[in-house]
Amino acid sequence: MSETQRSGLRTQTTVHGRETVVDAADYDTVSMAIVAAVAAAEGVTATALPPLYDAGIDPDAVNELFGGSRTHVESVFSFTYCDYVVTITSNGGVTVETYRAI
């Protein structure tokens, strides 16, 4: 597990082999949590990654759907970004797994 100091907040990124997990509540937006999780999995800074738009993902839409208060409706959204499968859940979890083509 690694910890990162960001804007006075201590965020935790948990890396388990092929899987990296962050809590979106530790970030200003869900899209920022996504980029941070992929950057941690890649071992690079977030600025080294391409924009989410390059993967066909609208960060504003993701933030609107999964940001803010938690809902009682369970929602899950998965997509590929930088050769990782990113899964966002309505409980605030962002999981990044190494992508393997079948």
pLDDT for position 70: 57
Q: How do the pLDDT tens digits run along the chain, 102 residues long? A: 344 433 333 345 555 557 888 888 899 999 999 999 999 999 999 999 999 999 899 999 999 888 876 556 788 999 999 999 999 998 888 999 987 655
pLDDT for position 13: 54
DSSP string covering the chain, please? -EEEEETTEEEEEEEETTEEEEEGGGSSSHHHHHHHHHHHHHTS-GGGSPPGGGGT--HHHHHHHHSSSPPSS--EEEEEETTEEEEEETTSEEEEEE----
pLDDT for position 92: 83
Find out whether 4 and 13 touch, Cβ atoms under 8 Å: yes
Residue 27, both tokens:
């970030």
All structural domains of the chain with their residue ranges = 2-98
